Chains A and B, each alone.
Chain A
Amino acid sequence: MRLIAALLATALLAVPPAMAQQRPLIWGDTLPATLDPHAIFDVPSQFILLNAYDGLYRYQGNPPQLTPWLVERHTTSADGLTWEFTLREGVKFHDGTPMTSEDVAYSFRRLLAMNRAPAAAFSPVLKPEGISTPDERTVRFVLSAPYAPFLAALPLVAVVNAKLLQANTVNDDWGAAWLAANDAGSGAYRMDPATYRTRTSLDLERFAEHFLGWAHNRRPIDQVRSRPIMETSTRVLALLRGEIDAGDSYLPTDQVERVERNARTRVQKDESMRVFIIRMNNRKPPFDNLDARLCFAHAFNYEGFNTIILKGLVVRNAGPNPNSLWGNPPNLAPYAFDLAKAKEHCDRARAAGSPIGREIEIHIQSELEQTTQAAQMFQADLRRVGINLKIVPNTWANITAATARAESTPDTWIHWVSSYFIDPENWIGQMYDSRFHGTWKASSWYRNERVDAMLAQARGSLDRAERERLYQEATRIVVAESPDIWVYNTLNLRGVSRRVQGWNFSPVGSGGELRTLWLEN
Chain B
Amino acid sequence: MARYILRRVLLALPALFGLVLLTFVLTRVIPGDPAATLAGDSATPAQIADIRARYGLDRPIWEQALVHVKQVLTGDLGSSIFSGRPVIEEIGFRLPATLELTFFALFLATAIGIPLGVVAALNHNGPVDQLVRLISVGGLAIASFWLALMLQLVFAMEWDVLPLRGRVEVELGTPPLRTGFLLIDSLLAGRLDQFRDALWHLVLPAVTLCLPGLASIARFTRSGMLEMLQKDFVLYARAAGYGRFRLYAIYVLRNAVTVTVTQIGLLFGALISGAVAVEAIYDWPGLGTYAVQAILSADYKALLAVTLVVGVVYAAVNVLVDVVQALVDPRVAEDIR
Contacts and interface: CB of A to CB of B under 8 A. Distances in A.
A231 B36 CA distance: 25
B298 A16 contact: no
B253 to A, nearest CB: 22
Contacts of A41: 40-43
B42 A19 contact: no
A208 interface: no
Nearest to B192: A7
A227 interface: yes
Given A16-B161, A26-B170, A176-B84, A398 B31 contact: yes
Contact of A197 (B153, B166, B195, B285): B285
A23 B285 CA distance: 22
Contacts of A237: 152-153, 156-157, 164-165
Interface stretch (B6-14, B234-242, B288-296): B288-296
B37 interface: yes
B165 A229 contact: yes
Interface in A226-279: 227, 229-231, 233-234, 237-238, 240-241, 243
Contacts of A14: 196
A233 B281 contact: yes
A420 interface: yes
Interface of B: prevailing SS: helix
A20 B41 contact: no
A237 B293 CA distance: 21
A439 B44 contact: yes
A8 B45 CA distance: 58
A12 B104 CA distance: 14
Contacts of A333: none
Nearest to A18: B169
Contact of B298 (A11, A20, A201, A397): A397
B82 interface: yes
B90 interface: yes
Contacts of B299: 33
B302 to A, nearest CB: 9
B37 A225 contact: no
B85 A198 contact: yes
Contacts of B199: 8, 11-12
A411 to B, nearest CB: 15
A455 to B, nearest CB: 15
B281 A33 contact: no
A404 interface: yes
Interface string A499-515: 00000000000000000
Contacts of A39: 84
Interface string B184-206: 00010000110111011000000
A116 B84 contact: no
B312 interface: no
Question: Which bracket fits the contact residues of B?
Answer: 35 or more
Interface residues of A, number: 66
A243 B152 CA distance: 14
A404 B48 contact: yes
Given A19-B171, A36-B84, A441 B42 contact: yes
A62 interface: no
B32 A401 contact: yes
Interface stretch (A83-91, A117-125, A311-319, A475-483): A117-125
A116 B172 contact: no
Nearest to B86: A177
B169 A17 contact: yes
Nearest to B33: A401
Contacts of B169: 17, 19
A402 interface: yes
Contacts of A176: 84
B93 interface: yes
A118 B38 CA distance: 12
B296 A396 contact: yes
Interface in A191-248: 197-201, 225, 227, 229-231, 233-234, 237-238, 240-241, 243
B39 interface: yes
A227 B281 contact: no
Nearest to B199: A11
Interface string A103-118: 0000000000001111
Given A41-B42, A115-B47, A117-B42, 9 more contacts: A11-B200, A26-B170, A34-B83, A34-B85, A200-B93, A230-B280, A400-B37, A401-B36, A439-B43
The 8 closest A-B pairs by CB, nearest first: A117-B40, A401-B33, A180-B84, A438-B45, A33-B82, A41-B40, A397-B298, A401-B36
5 contacts: A7-B195, A11-B200, A41-B40, A198-B80, A237-B165
Interface of A: 7-8, 10-12, 14-17, 19-20, 23, 26, 33-34, 36, 39-42, 115-121, 123, 176-177, 180-181, 197-201, 225, 227, 229-231, 233-234, 237-238, 240-241, 243, 367, 395-398, 400-402, 404, 418, 420, 430, 436, 438-441
